Amino acid sequence: MRLLLIEDDPTLALTLKRSLERKMMQVQLCDHGSQAVAAWQAMQPDVVVLDLNLPGLDGLQVLKNARQAGLPTPVLILTARGTVGDKILGLNAGADDYLPKPFDLDELEARVRALNRRQSNAPASTDNQTSTLGALRLDRDNRALYLQGEVMDLSPREFALMAALMKKPEHAVAKERLLDLVFPDQKDVQLEAIEVVVYRLRKKLLGAGVTLVTLRGLGYLLKAE
């Protein structure tokens, strides 16, 4: 199990790291709120243990930013704040569990493993509402395309084209089909309009780890670099 521990108390952080590593967990430490989401994105942990009292950025804001960036990792809040109101705030921000300080190490381990089992046993999504390719993640429910966790600034037509291409990555989609999806109910639009949308997207996709390929006579496809 890979665990990200976001805790600014060096003594507690080191104690927890050593204890959990003895339990066969891979633990990475982060001690600053402003660095937490980047560390989260880079590690892609199975579980996150998050303190609320952090320098730079409060733990609640870290959690909100992570959820807005589309990071679904189960989160256990670990904090000295023990009131019901703080617990509700944490859960509403996207936490999955809450453990006030002081706590028992065995209980912490049990809760972490429970979160990991819950995540591992969750049924796979069958609604095809999320697609990933390279550094991109497309969320159809929220109509958002994320590049390394950050929402990209796309027009509705650019998003519609990306949604069509990312539904089946590395499979060609005909230009006529894209025209119907990107310009619905606009029968007077010419096929060249798709080329304009593709041109704009190519500039926005630089550094995304994907290539928007033109297949003459077939259409377009997205492939990982």
C-alpha–C-alpha distance, residues 25 and 213, integer Å: 42
Rg (CA), the chain: 21
Q: Where in the chain is the domain with CATH 3.40.50.2300?
A: 2-121
Q: Is the pLDDT of residue 13 over 60?
A: yes
- Return the pLDDT at 83: 60
> What is the third-level CATH fold of 130-224?
Arc Repressor Mutant, subunit A (1.10.10)
Dist. CA 165–CA 81, nearest whole Å: 46
Fold of 2-121: Rossmann fold (3.40.50)
pTM: 0.56
How confident is the model at residue 191, as a pLDDT? 84
Which part of the chain has CATH 1.10.10.10? 130-224
Q: Answer whether residue 216 shows pLDDT above 60.
A: yes
Least confident of 18-22, 103-107, 118-122, 217-221: 118-122
Q: What is the pLDDT of residues 94-147, one digit of tens each?
A: 788 888 888 899 999 999 998 888 766 544 443 457 888 888 888 887 788 998
Amino acid 26: pLDDT: 93
Q: How many residues does the chain have?
A: 225
pLDDT in tens, 29-85: 999 999 999 999 888 899 999 998 899 999 999 998 988 887 888 999 987 765 666
Single-letter residue type at 124: A
Give tens-digit pLDDT for 162-214: 999 988 778 888 888 898 888 886 777 888 899 999 999 999 998 888 899 99
Q: C-alpha 116: how far from its chain's center?
A: 17
For position 202, what pLDDT does the model report?
A: 93
pLDDT value for 17: 95
d(CA 130, CA 216): 28
36, 124, 153, 219 alpha-carbon torsion, rounded to 10°:
140
pLDDT of residue 125: 41
Amino acid at 17: K
pLDDT digits (tens, 9 = 90+) for 74-96: 999 987 765 666 667 777 777 88
**Which H, E and C letters describe 30-94, residue by residue?**
ECCHHHHHHHHHHHCCCEEEECCCCCCCCHHHHHHHHHHCCCCCCEEEEECCCCHHHHHHHHHCC
Q: Residue 53 CA to chain centroid, in angstroms?
A: 23
pLDDT value at position 128? 57
